[in-house]
């Protein structure tokens, strides 16, 4: 059945359109534009969202869990709970993100996660679930000096043999890898992963500028949770952070929860990178949407109180949702919804090579759409045409 979506505003997100119509059928967008340009098909059911904004469904590329479930559980039931939690906050696609763990446990989790990606849960208790696209491996090829809460005993030196083992365990469903470019053996792994279409992101790294530039030259295209778990900025040795802020073509993400990075620095980061190269992520854990308490992140416990998640006194992920990150970006910078939603939809889709199938609202794209208020509050989420 064709469905015609009506609203006050459409954000494609590169273009803003007033009084739009978006026609969807069988999980795809058939047409999108103003009511002067697009006719409502006679056989279409009309969904009128009044004064709302239609925008592309958001994509979270750095996500460890939610709704009480941890990604490393690697079961259809766990990912269904994660997917439902995400869809409630406007996310239609995501990268299940692993955390450094024992080698055998990691390989087992990747095998089971690959099975879920190949047959993902579509809904839970009648609610749509955000869909897993591919896997984000955060570790084990990270720096011992910038671990964060990753268990040091499970951090490994990068090698082609190890990367191939991870790739094969995931049956090729690896879309993103966070690693430290200064580690011995890292550069060949970066080059090989990039050649396979994997986004290599520099993170949990103590790289100086020269090492970061070598990682960039080998194929690294992104920086993981900028400012966190990386060498601090120095005006004479800018290091990885200097490259993240200074390279206008390098994509970089930030956790805009006001806890991981001060709002003033979030604003400075977004203004330096611009809405073209900045990306919003959550780094959310199983506690997201669950309130205070003790929750799991991989193989260890995390204490959650308010917006802070800690393990042994260190920050351990977040309970941030991506729609909240968008609203925070608007509040911290004074930017409008169009620029802010781009950093959570179009930009990740572009970096993952998913344009024009995801991250946009245009004919031929997947019908992944979030219905928002003008201030960025989620009213409805449509995943693959399912309202």
Task: Name the residues annotated as catalytic.
Answer: 283
CB count within 10 Å of CB 128 equals 23
Residues in the chain: 387
264: helix, strand or coil: helix
What span, in angstroms and rounded, lies between the C-alpha atoms of 304 and 163? 33
163 contacts 123 by C-beta, under 8 angstroms: no
CB count within 10 Å of CB 165 equals 15
Q: Per the structure block, which two tokens stand in for 183? A: 């580690």
**Element (H or E) spanning 265, and its range?**
helix 263-277
**Among 121, 79, 133, 52, residue whose Cα is nearest residue 380:** 52
234 contacts 240 by C-beta, under 8 angstroms: no
| Main-chain dihedrals φ then ψ at residue 320, nearest 5 degrees | -70, 145
């Amino acid at each position: 059945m064709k469905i015609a979506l009506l609203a006050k505003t459409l954000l494609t997100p590169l273009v803003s359109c007033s009084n739009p119509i978006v026609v969807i059928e069988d999980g795809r967008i058939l047409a999108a534009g103003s009511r002067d340009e697009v006719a409502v098909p006679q056989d279409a059911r009309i969904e009128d969202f009044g004064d709302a904004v239609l925008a592309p469904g958001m994509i979270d590329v750095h996500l460890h869990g939610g709704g009480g479930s941890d990604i490393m559980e690697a079961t259809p039931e766990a990912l269904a709970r994660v997917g439902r939690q995400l869809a409630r906050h406007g996310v239609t696609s995501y990268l299940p993100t692993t955390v450094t763990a024992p080698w055998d446990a990691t390989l087992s989790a990747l095998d089971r996660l690959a099975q879920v990606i190949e047959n993902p849960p579509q809904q839970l208790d009648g609610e749509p679930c955000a869909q897993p696209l591919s896997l984000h491996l955060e570790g084990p090829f990270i720096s011992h000096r910038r671990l964060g809460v990753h268990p040091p005993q499970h951090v490994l030196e990068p090698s082609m043999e190890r990367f191939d083992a991870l790739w094969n365990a995931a049956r090729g469903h690896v879309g993103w890898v966070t690693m430290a470019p200064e580690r011995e053996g890292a550069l060949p792994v970066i080059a090989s992963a990039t050649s396979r279409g994997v986004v290599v992101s520099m993170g949990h790294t103590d790289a100086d500028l020269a090492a970061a530039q070598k990682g960039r030259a080998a194929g690294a295209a992104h920086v993981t949770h900028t400012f966190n778990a990386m060498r601090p900025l120095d005006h004479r040795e800018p290091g990885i952070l200097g490259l993240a802020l200074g390279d206008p073509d390098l994509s970089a993400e930030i956790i805009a929860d006001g806890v991981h990075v001060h709002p003033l620095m979030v604003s400075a980061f977004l203004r330096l990178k611009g809405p073209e190269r900045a990306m919003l992520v959550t780094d959310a854990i199983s506690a997201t949407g669950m309130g205070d308490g003790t929750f799991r992140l991989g193989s260890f416990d995390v204490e959650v109180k308010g917006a802070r998640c800690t393990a042994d006194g260190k920050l351990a992920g977040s309970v941030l949702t991506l729609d909240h990150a968008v609203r925070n970006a608007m509040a911290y910078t004074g930017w409008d919804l169009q620029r802010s939603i781009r950093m959570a939809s179009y930009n990740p889709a572009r970096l993952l090579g998913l344009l024009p199938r995801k991250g946009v609202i245009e004919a031929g794209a997947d019908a992944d759409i979030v219905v928002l208020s003008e201030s960025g509050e989620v009213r409805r989420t449509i995943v693959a045409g399912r309202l």
